[in-house]
Amino acid sequence: MRKSLLLSLTGMVFAGLMSLCLGNAHAGESVKIGVYYPMTGPSAVYGQIGYKGLQLAQKERPKVLNREVKLFLTDNKSDKVESANAVSRLIQKNKVDAIIGGLTSSNTLSGAPVAEKAKVPMISPWATNPVVTQGKKWVFRACFIDPFQGYVGAKFARENLTAKNAAVLIDISQDYCVGIANFFMKNFTKMGGKIVSKLHYNTGDLDFTAQLTAIKNKNPDVLYCPGYFKELALIAQQAKEVGLDVPILAGDAAQADELIKIGGKAVEGLSFTTHFDEKGVTTESGKKFVKAFRAAYPGITPDSVSALSYDTYNILLDAIERAGSTDKEKVRADLENTKNFQGVTGVMTMKNHDMVKPAVILTVKNGKFQWLATVQP
């Protein structure tokens, strides 16, 4: 009996010591978060300002579970193939616990299957195409999706711009542009409007006069063009040149200071749906973010990508904290259960791996982005 009791006590002490040693060793490890953003290439503007948002979030909250958080940044070069390769490197080489990225829908759609197969939680700040999370167990997003954005855009066109006829100009090389345009057209026609023209272009195109001249001949009341800032600015300039003087309505990719720098007076009056504006913040965390971002990066305007990146970091750390570990399955489950998160971009709840949250409508006025409205889901 004594021998058995002694062995039992010895085993308990040994187990306790082992647990303590393992716990201490675990506590010393960093929490590794992989990031694949477009730091070069056509989408570099978004990646660079988005990473500023991540760095600010990490500076404010450098630890979770008493462990240091390390960011491993990989440049996806604004490319689909590079995005898939970047996710593979983060998982295989850096052994990350979770991944933030990509930003554009196309790059996220390329990286998502890699994370899904490896069973690593991944959350995108800015990829709005609904296909990004469809059928996925490990892939999430911190933004609203294009069906909602398309609906808000169509409602604004019909009610605020009183448009009866709309022309649509789509960048067919971008999944985001194709998706949101389809949802806009579907909702616009449901609301009693008519699509009088549907034309295409590709990322990198410089001359849009043929499409814009054809659109002018259809006499639309509004031009819906959910493209990225560079092409959008050129389209606005060339629309003026061919005499197409109608309101231009776009999506969230329009929110970059470069749109105004390139487009100048031609983009005055251009409106777009988006996720965030510093003048329209509705939460205390939003007000604090604006102040902190302005202090950390003088002269740079906090935009949707930086705000969503900041939110994404905190959403992920919140899930890790609730999970009580970096166990991937537990983190994944707690991401799914995110509810009423008080973010910079609004109060948000995860539903089917997508965030239910408000949309913002901005316009360009006097060379600056101006808040028009916040639309609740």
Which residues, other chains included, contact 60 with Cβ-Cβ below 8 Å and sequence gap of 6+? 292
pLDDT for 283 equals: 86
Q: Are 117 and 139 in contact (CB under 8 A)?
A: no
**pTM summary value:** 0.89
Q: Do domains 31-143+281-357 and 147-274 have the same CATH topology?
A: yes
- Its sign, for the CA torsion 89, 93, 94, 98, is positive
Pairwise CA distance, residues 199 & 211, whole Å: 7
N- to C-terminal Cα separation, the chain: 68
pLDDT for 15 equals: 43
Q: Are 311 and 125 in contact (CB under 8 A)?
A: yes
Is 227 in a helix, a strand, or coil?
A: coil
Pairwise CA distance, residues 212 & 168, whole Å: 10
CA-closest candidate to residue 260, choices 270, 274, 275, 248: 270
Q: What are the Cα distances from residue 138, in Å, to 74, 99, 121, 122, 335? A: 20, 10, 5, 6, 9
pLDDT for 14 equals: 44
**Ramachandran area for residue 184 (φ above 0: left; ψ -120 to 50: alpha; else beta):** alpha
Domain boundaries, the chain: 31-143+281-357, 147-274
Instruction: Please provide the CATH number assigned to the domain covering 147-274.
Output: 3.40.50.2300
CA-closest candidate to residue 66, choices 260, 320, 346: 320
DSSP run (H or E) holding 241 = helix 229-241
Which residues, other chains included, contact 242 with Cβ-Cβ below 8 Å and sequence gap of 6+? 209, 212, 213, 216
Residue 159 has what DSSP assignment? I
Q: Give residue 279's Cα distance to chain centre.
A: 19
- Its sign, for the CA torsion 18, 20, 25, 30, is positive
Pairwise CA distance, residues 153 & 158, whole Å: 9
* Token duo for residue 146: 């294009």
Q: Are 298 and 50 in contact (CB under 8 A)?
A: no
Which residues, other chains included, contact 213 with Cβ-Cβ below 8 Å and sequence gap of 6+? 242, 244
Pairwise CA distance, residues 344 & 287, whole Å: 8
Q: Please write the tens of the pLDDT for every residue from 136-174.
A: 999 999 999 999 999 999 999 999 999 999 999 999 999
* Token duo for residue 260: 């105004």
pLDDT for 26 equals: 52
Q: What are the Cα distances from residue 41, in Å, to 173, 183, 250? A: 15, 28, 22
Count other Cβ atoms within 10 Å, centred on residue 42. Answer: 18
Kindly indicate whether the domain formed by 31-143+281-357 is annotated with CATH number 3.40.50.2300.
yes
- Three-state SS sequence of 285-347: HHHHHHHHHHHHCCCCCCCHHHHHHHHHHHHHHHHHHHHCCCCHHHHHHHHHCCCCEEECCEE
CA-closest candidate to residue 125, choices 69, 47, 58, 56: 47
Q: Which residue has the tokens 């100009």?
A: 169
Splitting the chain (377 residues) into consecutive groups of 10 residues, what average pLDDT does each group show?
Answer: 40 42 57 98 96 98 98 98 98 98 97 98 97 97 96 96 98 95 98 98 97 98 97 98 98 95 97 93 92 97 97 98 98 98 96 96 96 91
Pairwise CA distance, residues 252 & 273, whole Å: 5
Pairwise CA distance, residues 201 & 172, whole Å: 6
